[in-house]
């Protein structure tokens, strides 16, 4: 990568009018993406954005790169096929909580398990927006929506926990309002070789406004957000006076001061899958802060690299032409 | 003392090998087929196996069979009623005896007729003992299990494995009766079991034991000779539909110099395409076992977006799942080849049996006004050129295309004259070239002759563009909700598919060019219809046969041809799907012949129905 970007943010802006609702969290995510991309690539022609269906999935139309707005839930399949056909491309997938976890849940888990080198941005607004406000697989139980006037009965997924369970090799979480953090997660996903999964909390101001209010309000967010830094203790709070410790196998929030010092606080290790599983379980748990950052990052061979190995190994086999193949096996001549 | 043996020459013979799923009948049939091919007979085969991998041993549900029709003349079907039935156990006898010709030859493994197996097959008395068979058939009760045990004495092999060689013993008996060489089978065994000398020895001994039994037993007094067939001059090999389909894809790769990405999900009877292609990586073919059928076509489409030829294969239930993606492929106008190896439906239906009932699904099975080219293969060997042409047309016209084969074509085989790759149509691919200018790329700019849009692939500088399932503005490819544009695009997509008729060679009519009755077939009913036509012509009926490959679009000369006959009959293994399409397109009162029994329609059934129409 060049020290100084040759492309500008404007180079990544397409000429299409953006049709999200005014005030939608998607605008911020798009802007941060367009801002970061000049840093992470010099060749926008090698970048492809692939999406499914939903508000978030309109994203590719607004990026002046190659793009494919596919069908509901199926973006991982198209992204996988594209990446296998041309591993040199930088493939980004944009999906939502309905697209990625409901109709497309199967594809997403298999993408993570295979570890194809694709970056997934999952916009989680805990609601169906484009179909006008039904509960989603990440909505809290009891949610009153058009389809659940007496409250939803479904128990929600915890996206990062699901991604870890699906053997994701890079799992991170961020939020639409934390612009620098969001940019940083995009950079980190780009750097990771393998499937990178970023859950982005995104406010739908029409159908689920304030779903992440306590995480974004000035008054509450410091006590509710835990910024993860690799190798750093898990400290949070307005006065940086709270931390996470382990009691036996159980995490606990403690106050740093008389009884506990900074040295007692649990240190984040991105490569520790047990720790990652514990942190992913903090989601929507009032006892704990919401962890933001890279929860887990550990490289293992990617499907695309393994396939390239097999292809080159196969290439060492004796050469045969089409006519050799047509004539193979037992043949006989009729005169 | 040598016994006196007569030699008799026959034109054609049909043999059916039947036994328990674990008895190795597909192998016996396969080896007999290969030998018939090497001897130079024309042949056609029909394997038939249960959907269960191992139904309870000895049960009726567990019977597996393999039929081969071989001849010194040209043949087009795997035969109807067999002349010879090999029954390895009572259940096989029970299931297949009713189809053996009267006076036909029965070869029975006597040792399997024990009380337990007889009970499982529902026999109250032992048919090999009560004389019921001898009255109607030339029945030979051979103690095959005992023969192989004796033949394998001294080989260090468990009794169970020795018992399993009895299919080779049965094969040996048939090789003696039909005067066939043993060497090709012995060579095959040596190659197949390279590192297992005891298995080679046991199977070879079993084969010889069967052959020698024919030689020495007093039971057989006649050997039969089926001479070489007078096929058109050329080099031949035995070819099944699955391999032919895969070779068609390989030919597309080699002729176009494109890479090919095959993505599929396991399903009977299409999985063997995935298996075969997975061995061909050295040709640049990438294979991907997807998590489901939807992912199979999705990955194929993704590959095509990237400039590789995307291919997927499945059978009816899987194709149903791919429906939404077919629509996306169609509206984004990218080439994807979808192969449907049809099986009995609806739903899970008859997974291992053949049927032609997915024609409506292929032609109509999508939401919206969604015309998709549909082409069907007519014989196992024809799967080669059909698949190749499908790939070529998909790329030339930037469209998904559905290739219909079926269980019979995929698993059946015939001698195939090996084509020269030079004789295939040229397959040119051109991707849009990159541009440094500011002129905006027009992803939906079309070729005037074909109406195909240009193909600009990611990685090409200056051609960045977005496509998707929302209606496009023609030319720019931008999202458009404009009503006039939508109508224009709907007609443009239909016209593009209609233009493919320009690629279809003139329709060949077999038999009378004008007459009383046209037999119109599509896909795999080709063989039976051709045989029926031959028979009717020898009896001076004024009939012709047209074998359709292209269903969408129809060949442009088809309408005229239909008018050259007083009546049109359409035999199909469904309730009349092509008949419906022909009636709708040409306003012709076509007559149906519909038999939906999970197997090819017999030529005699067609002959009888035609005579009923012509004589009536």
Give the residue on B whose Cα is nearest the Cα of A64. Answer: B464
For residue B51, the model assigns a pLDDT of 82
Mean pLDDT for all residues in chain B: 95
For residue A1, the model assigns a pLDDT of 47
For residue B218, the model assigns a pLDDT of 77
**pLDDT category of residue B438 using cuts at 50, 70 and 90:** low
Determine, for residues A315 and B282 on separate chains, whether the beta-carbon distance falls below 8 Å: yes
Determine, for residues B421 and A65 on separate chains, whether the beta-carbon distance falls below 8 Å: no
Question: Other C-beta atoms within 10 Å of B178: how many?
Answer: 22
Of B583, B561, B580, nearest in space to B517 by CA: B561
Instruction: Enumerate the residues of chain A whose CB falls inside 8 A of the CB of residue B235.
Output: 327, 331-334
Q: Which two tokens stand for residue B235?
A: 């080099």
**pLDDT category of residue B365 using cuts at 50, 70 and 90:** very high
Q: List, as ranges, residues 187-246 from A with C-beta within 8 Å of B.
A: none
Mutate to test the interface with B, among A10, A56, A60, A85 (most CBs of B within 10 A): A85
For residue B3, the model assigns a pLDDT of 64
Give the residue on B whose Cα is nearest the Cα of A326. Answer: B418
Which one of B193, B225, B257 terminates a domain?
B225
Determine, for residues A79 and B302 on separate chains, whether the beta-carbon distance falls below 8 Å: yes
Read off the pLDDT of residues B30-56 as tens digits, 9 standing for 90 and up.
999 999 999 999 999 999 988 887 788
Give the residue on A whose Cα is nearest the Cα of B283. Answer: A315
Higher pLDDT, B219 or B494: B494
Determine, for residues B233 and A335 on separate chains, whether the beta-carbon distance falls below 8 Å: yes
Q: Is A65 on the interface with B (CB under 8 A)?
A: yes
Q: Which two tokens stand for residue A316?
A: 């060492």
Q: Is A61 on the interface with B (CB under 8 A)?
A: yes
- Between CA B23 and CA B63 the distance in angstroms is 9
Asked if residue B248 and residue B193 are part of one domain, the reply reads no
CATH number at residue B136: 3.40.920.10
**How far lies A86's CA from each of A14, B286, B394, in Å?**
24, 11, 20
Determine, for residues B468 and A335 on separate chains, whether the beta-carbon distance falls below 8 Å: no
Residue A151 lies in a domain: yes
Read off the pLDDT of residues B582-615 as tens digits, 9 standing for 90 and up.
999 999 999 999 999 999 999 999 999 999 999 9
For residue B2, the model assigns a pLDDT of 56
Q: Which two tokens stand for residue B263?
A: 């993505």
Q: Which two tokens stand for residue B586?
A: 């040409």
- Between CA B157 and CA B159 the distance in angstroms is 6
Min Cα–Cα distance to chain B from A234, Å: 38
Residue A142 lies in a domain: yes
Q: Which residues of B565-601 are buried (b: 16+ CB within 10 A; e: fewer)?
A: bebbbbbbbbebbbbbbbbeebebebbbbebbebbbb
Asked if residue B249 and residue B186 are part of one domain, the reply reads no
Give the residue on A whose Cα is nearest the Cα of B243. Answer: A326
For residue B1, the model assigns a pLDDT of 46
- Between CA A112 and CA A292 the distance in angstroms is 20
Q: Which two tokens stand for residue A31?
A: 């802007």
Instruction: Enumerate the residues of chain A whose CB falls inside 8 A of the CB of residue B332.
Output: 68
For residue A80, the model assigns a pLDDT of 98
> Averaged over B527-553, what is the pLDDT?
97
Residue B454 lies in a domain: no
- How much of chain B is in helix, strand and coil states, percent to nearest 5? 40, 20, 40
- Between CA B322 and CA B316 the distance in angstroms is 10
Mutate to test the interface with A, among B301, B328, B466, B473 (most CBs of A within 10 A): B466
Determine, for residues B37 and A332 on separate chains, whether the beta-carbon distance falls below 8 Å: yes
Tally the domains of chain A.
1
Of B234, B235, B325, the CB nearest to A71: B325
Give the residue on B whose Cα is nearest the Cα of A60. Answer: B466
Residues in contact with B536: Cβ distance below 8 Å, sequence separation at least 6, in sequence order: B511, B543, B607, B610, B611, B614
Q: Which two tokens stand for residue A152?
A: 């939803």
Rg of chain B (C-alpha set): 27
- Between CA B515 and CA A301 the distance in angstroms is 68
> Averaged over B238-247, what is the pLDDT?
97
Of B270, B172, B273, B264, nearest in space to B214 by CA: B172
Determine, for residues A325 and B247 on separate chains, whether the beta-carbon distance falls below 8 Å: yes
Read off the pLDDT of residues B85-103 as tens digits, 9 standing for 90 and up.
999 999 999 999 999 999 9
Residue B436 lies in a domain: no
Residue A28 lies in a domain: yes
> Averaged over B210-231, what is the pLDDT?
90
Min Cα–Cα distance to chain B from A198, Å: 22
Q: Strands across the sheet with B400-406, in order?
A: B285-289, B260-264, B309-314, B336-342, B400-406, B374-376, B550-552
Read off the pLDDT of residues B136-184 as tens digits, 9 standing for 90 and up.
999 999 999 999 999 999 999 999 999 999 999 999 999 999 999 999 9
Residue B403 lies in a domain: yes
CB pairs under 8 A between A and B: 202
CATH number at residue A135: 3.40.50.970
Determine, for residues B254 and A79 on separate chains, whether the beta-carbon distance falls below 8 Å: no
* Domain range for A107: 9-211+301-305
Instruction: Enumerate the residues of chain B whose CB falls inside 8 A of the CB of residue A67.
Output: 465-468
Q: Strands across the sheet with B413-417, in order?
A: A331-334, B234-240, B413-417
Q: Which two tokens stand for residue B407?
A: 């269980």
**Any idea what the Cα angle at residue B531 is, between residues B382 and B15, rounded to 5°?**
85
Asked if residue B53 and residue B29 are part of one domain, the reply reads yes
Residues in contact with B206: Cβ distance below 8 Å, sequence separation at least 6, in sequence order: B147, B148, B151, B152, B165, B166, B168, B169, B172
Residue A99 lies in a domain: yes
For residue A2, the model assigns a pLDDT of 47
Asked if residue B212 and residue B250 are part of one domain, the reply reads no
Query: Helix, strand or coil for residue B381?
Result: coil
Instruction: Enumerate the residues of chain A whose CB falls inside 8 A of the CB of residue B305.
Output: 68, 78, 81-82
Query: Helix, strand or coil for residue B512?
Result: coil
Determine, for residues B328 and A71 on separate chains, whether the beta-carbon distance falls below 8 Å: yes
Determine, for residues A81 and B184 on separate chains, whether the beta-carbon distance falls below 8 Å: no
Determine, for residues B466 and A323 on separate chains, whether the beta-carbon distance falls below 8 Å: no
Residue A230 lies in a domain: no
Asked if residue B263 and residue B176 are part of one domain, the reply reads no
CATH number at residue B330: 3.40.50.970
* Domain range for B97: 6-225
Of A64, A85, A331, the CB nearest to B261: A85
Strands B63-71, A235-236: pairing kind: unpaired
Task: Identify the segments of chain A with pLDDT beneath 50.
Answer: 1-2
Of A45, A88, A331, the CB nearest to B418: A331
A24 touches A42 (CB < 8 A): no
**pLDDT category of residue B222 using cuts at 50, 70 and 90:** confident
Which one of B423, B449, B480 terminates a domain?
B423
Residue A4 lies in a domain: no
Give the residue on A whose Cα is nearest the Cα of B31. Answer: A330
Could you give the dihedral angle defined by the CA atoms of residues B390, B394, B396 and B399, in that order, rounded to the nearest 10 degrees? 150
Asked if residue B301 and residue B213 are part of one domain, the reply reads no
Which ipTM value was assigned to this complex? 0.97
Residue B428 lies in a domain: no
For residue B559, the model assigns a pLDDT of 98
Asked if residue B586 and residue B543 are part of one domain, the reply reads yes
**Any idea what the Cα angle at residue B191 is, between residues B186 and B192, rounded to 5°?**
95
Of B228, B251, B282, the CB nearest to A322: B251
Of B191, B292, B360, B532, nearest in space to A107 by CA: B292
How does DSSP assign B20-53, residue by residue?
A: EGGG-HHHHHHHHHHHHHHHT-EEEEEEE--SSS
Tally the domains of chain B.
3
Asked if residue B326 and residue B283 are part of one domain, the reply reads yes
Which residues are bridge partners to B225 per DSSP?
Answer: B9
Asked if residue B205 and residue B333 are part of one domain, the reply reads no
* pLDDT exceeds 90 at position B562: yes
Instruction: Enumerate the residues of chain B whose CB falls inside 8 A of the CB of residue A20.
Output: none
Residue A270 lies in a domain: no
Asked if residue B607 and residue B566 are part of one domain, the reply reads yes
The DSSP call for residue B112 is G
Mutate to test the interface with A, among B295, B326, B417 (most CBs of A within 10 A): B295
Min Cα–Cα distance to chain A from B564, Å: 37
Percentage of chain B lying above the pLDDT 90 cut: 93
Instruction: Enumerate the residues of chain A whose CB falls inside 8 A of the CB of residue B250.
Output: 322, 325
- Between CA A189 and CA A199 the distance in angstroms is 11
Higher pLDDT, B2 or B491: B491
Asked if residue B292 and residue B168 are part of one domain, the reply reads no
- Axis crossing angle, helix B197-216 with helix B144-151, rounded to the nearest 10: 120
Determine, for residues A107 and B295 on separate chains, whether the beta-carbon distance falls below 8 Å: yes
Q: List, as ranges, residues 73-102 from A with C-beta within 8 Å of B.
A: 74, 76-86, 88-89
Half-sphere exposure of B574 (CA within 13 A, CB side): 24
Instruction: Enumerate the residues of chain A whose CB falls inside 8 A of the CB of residue B299.
Output: 77-78, 80-81, 84
Min Cα–Cα distance to chain B from A255, Å: 47
**pLDDT category of residue B485 using cuts at 50, 70 and 90:** very high
Determine, for residues A69 and B418 on separate chains, whether the beta-carbon distance falls below 8 Å: no
Residue B116 lies in a domain: yes
Of A45, A74, A327, the CB nearest to B235: A327
Determine, for residues A67 and B295 on separate chains, whether the beta-carbon distance falls below 8 Å: no
Q: Is A245 exposed, middle or buried (0-12, 13-18, 19+ CB in 10 A)?
A: middle
Determine, for residues A67 and B254 on separate chains, whether the beta-carbon distance falls below 8 Å: no
Determine, for residues B38 and A61 on separate chains, whether the beta-carbon distance falls below 8 Å: no
Give the residue on B whose Cα is nearest the Cα of A75. Answer: B298
Residue A157 lies in a domain: yes
Of A64, A85, A314, the CB nearest to B303: A85
Of B511, B513, B505, B508, nearest in space to B536 by CA: B511
Residue B437 lies in a domain: no
Handedness of CA B565, B566, B572, B576 (dihedral sign): positive
Determine, for residues B308 and A322 on separate chains, whether the beta-carbon distance falls below 8 Å: no
Of A60, A58, A162, A49, nearest in space to A101 by CA: A162
- Between CA B453 and CA B456 the distance in angstroms is 9
Mutate to test the interface with B, among A14, A75, A80, A82 (most CBs of B within 10 A): A82
For residue B108, the model assigns a pLDDT of 97
Min Cα–Cα distance to chain A from B367, Å: 13
Determine, for residues B434 and A67 on separate chains, whether the beta-carbon distance falls below 8 Å: no
For residue A3, the model assigns a pLDDT of 62
Determine, for residues A45 and B467 on separate chains, whether the beta-carbon distance falls below 8 Å: no
């Amino acid at each position: 990568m060049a020290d100084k970007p040759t492309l500008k943010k404007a180079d990544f802006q397409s000429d299409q009018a953006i049709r999200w609702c005014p005030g939608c969290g998607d605008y911020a995510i798009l802007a941060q993406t367009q801002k970061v991309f000049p840093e992470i690539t010099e060749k926008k022609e090698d970048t492809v954005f692939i999406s499914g269906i939903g508000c978030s999935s309109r994203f590719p139309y607004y990026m002046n790169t190659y793009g494919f707005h596919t069908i509901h839930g199926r973006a991982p399949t198209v992204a996988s096929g594209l990446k296998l056909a041309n591993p040199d491309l930088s493939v980004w997938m944009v999906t939502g909580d309905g697209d990625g976890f409901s109709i497309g849940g199967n594809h997403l888990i298999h993408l993570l398990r295979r570890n194809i080198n694709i970056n997934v941005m999952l916009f989680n607004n805990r609601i169906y927006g484009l179909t006008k406000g039904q509960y989603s697989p990440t909505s809290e139980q009891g949610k009153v929506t058009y389809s659940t006037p007496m409250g939803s009965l479904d128990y929600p997924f915890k996206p990062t926990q699901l991604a870890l369970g699906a053997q994701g090799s890079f799992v991170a979480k961020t939020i639409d309002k934390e612009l620098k953090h969001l940019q940083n997660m995009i950079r980190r996903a780009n750097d990771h070789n393998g499937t990178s999964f970023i859950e982005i909390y995104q406010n739908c101001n029409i159908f689920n406004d304030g779903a992440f209010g306590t995480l974004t309000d000035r008054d509450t967010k410091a006590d509710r957000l835990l910024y993860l830094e690799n190798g750093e203790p898990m400290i949070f709070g307005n006065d940086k006076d709270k931390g996470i410790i382990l009691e036996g196998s159980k995490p606990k929030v403690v106050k740093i001061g008389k009884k506990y010092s900074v040295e007692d606080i649990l240190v984040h290790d991105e490569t520790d899958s047990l720790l990652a599983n514990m942190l992913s379980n903090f989601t929507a748990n009032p006892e704990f802060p919401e962890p933001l950052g890279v929860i887990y990052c550990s490289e293992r061979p990617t499907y695309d690299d393994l396939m390239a190995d097999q292809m080159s190994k196969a290439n060492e086999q004796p050469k045969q032409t089409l006519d050799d193949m047509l004539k193979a096996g037992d043949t006989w001549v009729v005169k | 003392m040598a016994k006196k043996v007569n030699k008799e020459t026959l034109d054609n013979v049909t043999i059916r090998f039947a036994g328990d799923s674990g008895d190795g009948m597909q192998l016996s049939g396969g080896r007999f087929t290969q030998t018939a091919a090497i001897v130079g007979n024309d042949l056609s085969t029909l394997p038939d196996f249960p959907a269960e991998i191992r139904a309870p041993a000895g049960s009726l549900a567990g019977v597996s069979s393999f039929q081969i029709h071989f001849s010194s003349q040209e043949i087009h079907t795997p035969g109807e009623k067999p002349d010879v039935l090999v029954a390895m156990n009572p259940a096989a006898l029970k299931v297949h005896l009713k189809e053996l010709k009267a006076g036909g030859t029965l070869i029975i493994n006597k040792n399997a007729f024990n009380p337990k197996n007889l009970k499982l097959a529902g026999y109250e008395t032992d048919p090999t003992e009560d004389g019921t068979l001898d009255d109607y058939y030339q029945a030979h009760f051979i103690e095959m299990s005992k023969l192989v045990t004796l033949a394998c004495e001294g080989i260090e092999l468990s009794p169970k494995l020795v018992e399993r060689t009895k299919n080779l013993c049965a094969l040996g008996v048939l090789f003696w009766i039909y005067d066939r060489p043993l060497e090709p089978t012995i060579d095959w065994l040596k190659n197949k079991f390279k590192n297992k000398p005891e298995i080679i020895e046991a199977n070879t001994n079993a084969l010889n034991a069967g052959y020698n039994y024919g030689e020495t037993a007093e039971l057989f007094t006649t050997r039969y000779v089926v001479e070489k067939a007078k096929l058109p001059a050329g080099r031949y090999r035995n070819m099944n539909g699955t391999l032919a389909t895969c070779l068609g894809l390989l030919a597309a790769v080699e002729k176009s110099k494109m890479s090919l990405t095959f993505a599929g999900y396991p399903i009977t009877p299409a999985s063997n395409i995935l298996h075969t292609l997975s061995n061909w990586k050295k040709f640049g073919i990438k294979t991907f076992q997807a998590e489901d059928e939807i992912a199979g076509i999705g990955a194929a489409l993704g590959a095509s977006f990237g400039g590789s030829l995307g291919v997927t294969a499945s059978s009816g239930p899987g194709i149903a799942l791919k429906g939404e993606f077919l629509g996306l492929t169609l509206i984004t106008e990218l080439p994807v080849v979808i192969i449907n190896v049809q099986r009995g439906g609806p739903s899970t239906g008859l997974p291992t049996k053949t049927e032609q009932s997915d024609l409506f699904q292929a032609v109509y099975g999508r939401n919206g006004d969604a015309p998709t080219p549909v082409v069907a293969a007519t014989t196992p060997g024809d799967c080669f050129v059909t698949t190749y042409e499908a790939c070529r047309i998909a790329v030339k016209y930037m469209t998904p295309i559905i290739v219909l084969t079926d269980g019979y074509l995929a698993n059946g085989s015939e001698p195939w004259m090996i084509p020269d790759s030079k004789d295939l149509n040229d397959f040119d691919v051109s991707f849009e070239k990159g541009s440094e200018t500011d002129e905006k790329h027009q992803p939906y700019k079309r070729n005037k002759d074909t109406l195909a849009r240009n193909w600009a692939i990611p990685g090409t500088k200056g051609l960045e563009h977005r496509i998707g399932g929302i209606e496009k503005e023609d030319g720019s490819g931008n999202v458009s909700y404009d009503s006039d544009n939508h109508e224009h695009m709907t007609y443009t997509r239909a016209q593009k598919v209609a233009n493919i008729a320009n690629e279809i060679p003139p329709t060949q009519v077999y038999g009378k060019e004008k007459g009383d009755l046209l037999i119109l077939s599509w896909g795999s009913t080709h063989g039976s219809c051709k045989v029926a036509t031959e028979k009717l012509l020898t009896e001076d009926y004024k009939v012709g046969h047209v074998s359709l490959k292209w269903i969408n679009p129809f060949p442009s000369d088809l309408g005229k041809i239909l008018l050259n006959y007083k009546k049109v009959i359409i035999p199909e293994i469904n309730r009349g799907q092509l008949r419906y399409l022909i009636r709708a397109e040409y306003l012709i009162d076509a007559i149906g012949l519909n038999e939906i029994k999970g197997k090819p329609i017999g030529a005699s059934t067609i002959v009888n129905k035609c005579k009923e129409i012509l004589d009536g």
